[in-house]
Amino acid sequence: MKWQQIRDRYPYLYETHLHTSQASACARRSGEEMARAAKAYGYTGIFVTDHNWGGNTRIDSGLPWKQWVDAYCAGYLNAERAGEKLGLDVFFGMEAGFSGTEFLLYGIDGEWLKEHPEIKTADVGNLYKKIKEVGGMMIHAHPFREEYYIPEIRLYPEYADGVEGINATHSNPASTGHNHPEYDVKALAYAREHGLPLTAGSDIHSVELLGGGMAFKRRLSSVQDFIQAVTGEEDYILTNGDNCYTRYGELI
């Protein structure tokens, strides 16, 4: 089935893994620029998931905690303001890093971060506990990626609510970084082995969008709505912007 036919059935497309230059050192465009590009591409919404202190962050780790949070949230807030004008849904997320092993966090926000400075020193298990206490969701991002900054593949099925099974930078032919489709193949198999839900995103850092993400039959109302869709039995599509898959990772 062609992508356009699928889009007719699942018209609401969301980018679940996106970085801004205000908080991620590896990103090249601001939140507003990313929002405008996403709207022009045809996305219904985006999740801003900038790197935290454990990853490639732009924010000075020496700042007092609340100042750090304010600086970290600047890219998201910039995108959110643009989204309000454009009619693009903009949701808050975070990419948390542990020596190259990374997780996408959904269901927290800047105010929650300010009230929980202890997460800066939390290990994977304790972070998961904190995220679950607030009703959030922790997704293992690109679990089988191999890069110089990832010293080893470490898997935590007991501390993940799902797996980023499709990462467009791995498998979209237009990707210029991390382009190894086998990383997604392994991630899909890992999720199936442990019965974990799947997500998809582009891991995008510039306005040269790949079109990856998740497509739904309805518009999402909130981050909690997204969490319920992933952890429940709602029908949705995974895409790397080139191929499409069912929520169970089956190629369409």
Task: Give per-residue pLDDT as tens, 44-86.
Answer: 999 999 999 999 999 999 999 999 999 999 999 999 999 999 9
Report the percent of the chain where pLDDT is more than 90.
94
Strands 89-98 and 244-246: unpaired
Mean pLDDT to the nearest integer, 156-178: 95
Q: How far apart are CA 76 and CA 90, in angstroms?
A: 8
Q: Which two tokens stand for residue 51?
A: 């790197």
Mean pLDDT to the nearest integer, 201-224: 97
Mean pLDDT to the nearest integer, 153-173: 97
Q: What is the pLDDT of residue 176?
A: 87
pTM assigned to the model: 0.97
Mean pLDDT to the nearest integer, 15-30: 97
Going along 146-246, which residue ranges are E strands?
162-167, 198-201, 213-216, 236-239, 244-246
Q: Which two tokens stand for residue 129?
A: 């506990």
CA distances from 251 to 99, 215, 239, 244 (A): 32, 14, 10, 6
**What does pLDDT average to over the chain?**
96
Mean pLDDT to the nearest integer, 191-205: 97
Contact 6, 244 (CB under 8 A): yes
Nearest to 95 by CA among 45, 59, 55, 146: 55
Q: Is 42 a residue whose pLDDT tops 70?
A: yes
Q: What is the pLDDT of residue 27?
A: 92
Strands 137-140 and 89-98: unpaired
Q: What is the pLDDT of residue 150?
A: 93
Contact 138, 128 (CB under 8 A): yes
**pLDDT tens, residue by residue, 97-134:** 999 999 999 999 999 999 999 999 999 999 999 999 99
Q: What is the pLDDT of residue 2?
A: 67
Contact 93, 49 (CB under 8 A): yes
Q: Is 90 a residue whose pLDDT tops 60?
A: yes
Strands 162-167 and 198-201: parallel
Q: Is 198 a residue whose pLDDT tops 90?
A: yes
Q: What is the pLDDT of residue 8?
A: 87
Q: How far apart are CA 94 and CA 108, in angstroms?
A: 8
φ/ψ of residue 153, rounded to 5: -80, 120
Q: What is the pLDDT of residue 107?
A: 98
Q: What is the pLDDT of residue 5?
A: 82
Q: Residue 1 — very low, low, confident or very high, per pLDDT cuts 50/70/90?
A: low
